[in-house]
Structures are given as C-alpha cells and as structure tokens.
Structure 1
C-alpha cells in the first residue's frame, strides 16, 4: 500500500473506534469502560493484514514518548510515518521463525496484533524454523525483498530524526548474550479505542503457553505503559533501557519500561 493510501487507512482506523483522532491512554480507558462487551477472534496474520497492522501501530504510538523521540516530524509527515510501520511489520515477516497473530472483532475490524520470533538453536527452535521455511514462505520472502528494494529507491521517512535513529541502532542487540533460547515479542499492539478489554492479554497468553510447552522463556522490550500489563501477566523486569540521549536535546521517560521476561513454571533460568 502506498503512503497516501495508508494515510487514509490510518484515518479510517481512528474513525472506526468512534473517535475523530487517535485516543490518548486516559481517554481510551474511559471510552472502553463505557462501551458494551464485544467478541473478537485471534487468527494468523497474512500479508493482506499488514496495512491494518501498521495503522493500528501508528494510532497506538502516535502520542507516545518513544514517537516524540524517534519521529518528531510524524504530524507533518503522517503518511510517511505510518508507512514506516508497514515496513517494520513486513520486515519481521522475513523470518521463518516469526509468528504474527491478529485480533479481529465480530464486525471484521482489526483491533490488535502481535508478532513473535523464536530465538535459539535448541531442538524446538530448529523445528519452528523447519515448519516455517516452506515453499510458500520462500515465495512470500522473495516478494518482500523485492518490495524492500523498491522502497529503498522510492521512499524516505521524513518524520524520523536520523540522529535519534543512529542512537537506537548503535545500541545494538539489548539481549546479546542473555537467554539465547527464547520466544521474543517483537510487537504487541491494541487499538487505543479497544484497550483494557483483555485483547493484549489474549495475544500474549497463547505464546506464553507455547513458550511453556517448549521449556523456554518469553522476552520483550516494554514501554512504560506496557510494563504495567506485563507485570500483571507474570513478567519480571531484567533491566531498564540503557540508551544515551546526551546531545540530542530530548527527554524520554526512563524510570519505567525496559527488558522484561516471563519464565514459565519449570523453565530453567540462564
């Protein structure tokens, strides 16, 4: 989907929640509390779901401190900012070890998604790789590489602060040398208008159970707001983010959020 079309999708996603613009967390909580219960289903996400997943992420993170830090120009270049999420969702799908799940309401509206990847070289990790590395996957990956090549030539995300991006990239793998055999939540997103209805927990619990069946932990990087949810689910904080913001002239909430991990019962701690 082109950036201009995605901008329309982003606006439609916000309107679908009954709001003229993405909701702030406090507003979302009040809105969710005043609405009747609804039903939704979880299913594997496909390439056709990527625009909806990107729109959900763009709406959910629009007012976050992380977006303030990394994408200060997002309001001036909203379509480019949103398309950046499309690229990130697609990029994760390049791995045969990636599991993408989407939550869809009974009316067919996407209301959340999660993407996970299996790290490690234990027997279960190798089986995940074998099962995911099908001919259909190879065809999908070839299309993704071709699309990335096209985007590299034609697309520039002017919403992003390149200095901030370099700081993030220089930080490298925050999990290097820790828990090499694990499932990892790359992204967990719920529509602002549908938060606090158990969708985030449902997206996580399935993978928590799978990690337990394989005897490995489940790790993630939690935002300040996300840390509260993951703590309730049984995750432990390993450490706070360690990013050097000196010289950028920016502030980001550092007293919460960080690397978190869930150890299923009987899982060996490394």
Structure 2
C-alpha cells in the first residue's frame, strides 16, 4: 500500500493508510510559520498518519483502514473549525526547502475573559465576524453535505465517539472550568509532528510560540498529553496534574492532564 497524497480529499475519495518510514531524520533546517486559513488539509494528513495505530484511534475509528478518506477528513474538518475562531493560533513546522509541505503543526486556543482574551475578540471583530464567519458557514454546509451523502464518517464507531466526548467534557470541568485560577489560559487543541521527524526539536519550537504568549500574558497553559508526548512537554516546563482515568487505559502508565505556569509563578498543585 502507498501512503496517501497530500492534496485535499473529501470522504468520498478513497485513500490508503500510511506506511511506516524507516529512513533517518533529515538534517535540513526547520522553519516555523503561521498557518493560512484553509490549510487544514495539511493537519488532516499529519494527524491521520501519526495517530493511525494508537490505541485511542483503534477505539474511535476501527474502520479507518477501509475508509481512510473519511478518517483523514475527520481530522481536517475538526482543525478547520478551530481555525475559524479569532482565538485560535495554528502554526506549521516545515523544512526550509519545502515550506508548503509541513511536517508538524500545533493548534492552541485562548480561553477566558481577561484583557488579552477580549483583545483577540476585538481585533477579530471586523475581519472574522464579517467574511470569515461567512466562510465558516459555507464550509459547515459543505462538510455536512458530504457526510450526509456518504452516511457520516464511516471510519468511526459512533458509540465510542460519544463515550469519549463525555469523558473529555468531564475532565474539562474537573481540571479547567471548575478552577478560577485556570480559566484564563492557552489550551492545546492538537500538537503533532510526523514520526519520521521526531528527535529534531520540532515539538519544542512549536511549543515556544504559545509558551512565549502565555508568559507575556501571565497565564497558564494546559493540555492533555499522550504517553509518547509527555517527556517533550515536561522538557518545556509542563508538569502533571493527573493521569488519565479511563476504562480502556489508552495511554497505559503515561500521559495525562498537564499544566505549565508562566515564568515566575510558583506551582502548588501539580503531581510529581
């Protein structure tokens, strides 16, 4: 089987699952750039490849090999929906010679109602709420029409998706929404680097974009880390709040809810 192409694909088009690559990582310089509005197809490609064989993906998308186009399109549509928000920041990591073919990305959202969060809303009032929201509506109609035509995302198990959504909502209420000192924060929506590019410091460079913002605003940064990603987040200042507690034990003994305090802030509530 050949790896999927990088062009935009709808769930109506069949795509094959990715092959694992074994070549050593490139030594070419990495550039970090801001994503353009309709580049979510890159995120679909990167996330679908990276998560294909994880326990959580096997649970949520047991039919992903048969319906790979649906599976990848799901990542793309979720990423695109985030990018329509004026509070979202999306960055890509690219090799210098191929800036149009990202090898990693990060998406964060600004939560809360402090002056910095409200500033994003004000700055986006004209630009976003006039023409971007119109584009968002058109995109939503397109996605719903495509999914209706094929009968939904055929790679997923609807019951599994429903249970996982409930679990994440409960965690959000427990660790974030229920804490006044964490309401104002930057929160990870997705941070992924292609496996063949691990070990190049790409994740750290992507995280530097949001950590710098959080430090300047004096707010915490939150995320839910996989077992494989935990060490990288620790290396840039994140600490563990709690391990995941789910009946399927998707991440084993690793991963969990993590927090990073802005520089100069004393930590009093983390788990060692």
User: Unaligned stretches of 5+ in structure 1?
Assistant: 15-20, 246-250
Query: 1:40-189, aligned counterparts within 5 Å?
Result: 40-108=30-98, 109-136=101-128, 138-155=130-147, 156-171=152-167, 172=169, 174-176=171-173, 177-178=178-179, 179-189=182-192
- SS state of the match for residue 133, structure 1? helix
User: Unaligned stretches of 5+ in structure 2?
Assistant: 1-7
Counterpart CA distance in 2 for 1:240 and 1:225 is: 14
What corresponds to 1:17 in structure 2?
none
Counterpart CA distance in 2 for 1:64 and 1:83 is: 18
Q: Kindly state the Cα deviation for residue 2 of structure 1 after the two structures are TM-superposed.
A: 3.5
Counterpart CA distance in 1 for 2:14 and 2:199 is: 26
Query: 1:23-42, aligned counterparts within 5 Å?
Result: 23=21, 27=22, 31-32=24-25, 35=26, 37-42=27-32
What corresponds to 1:257 in structure 2?
255
Please say if residues 12 and 70 of structure 2, whose CA atoms lie closer than 8 Å, have aligned partners that are also in contact: no
Deviation string, structure 1 residues 186-206 (Cα, Å, up to 9, x no partner): 111112221110111000012
Q: What's the RMSD between the two structures over aligned residues?
A: 2.3
What corresponds to 1:3 in structure 2?
10
Instruction: Report how many residues are paired.
Output: 248
What TM-score, normalized to structure 1?
0.84
Counterpart CA distance in 1 for 2:231 and 2:63 is: 28
